[in-house]
Amino acid sequence: MKALTVGDVARKTGVNVATLRYYERRGLIPRPARTASNYRIYTEDAARRVLFIKRAQALGFSLEEIKDLLSLKASPVARCGEVREIAAEKIRTIDDKVDALEAMRVALSKLIAECAGEGPVSDCPILESLEAGKPRDLH
């Protein structure tokens, strides 16, 4: 198995060295062996794990969720259904965020419709609404 330096892993995976060290501290990748001169030596598996982490992040998984996925992946007794449920929960979370963003969009659209975009800022209905904190306009 080829030994990789921290720079090698960073280049292969597109993350910076500080990120690799952070992943080590969070327990997402194992602490690498060290050379006699105290340099970190990683394995190809560490680079694969970093790519796994990046792909999972691209799908919206948090580092804690990714840690859970990695634990399941390493467990000989874990079942695919457990991973499926984590993914389904992520979809529910994404759907909730989409709903919240849509509500924000509607509220902002209403505020923009009330503003002619002319006159002094002191008469701006958007700023007035934010200052008044009308809950119906913001939720």
Q: What distance in Å separates the CA atoms of residue 90 and residue 66, rounded to the nearest whole number? A: 11
Residue 135: per-residue pLDDT: 54
List pLDDT tens digits, range 46-68: 999 999 999 999 999 999 999 99
Report CA torsion sign: 130, 134, 135, 139.
negative
One-letter amino acid identity for 117? Answer: G
Q: What distance in Å separates the CA atoms of residue 32 and residue 25, rounded to the nearest whole number? A: 11
Is pTM beyond 0.95? Reply is no
Q: What distance in Å separates the CA atoms of residue 126 and residue 116, rounded to the nearest whole number? A: 10
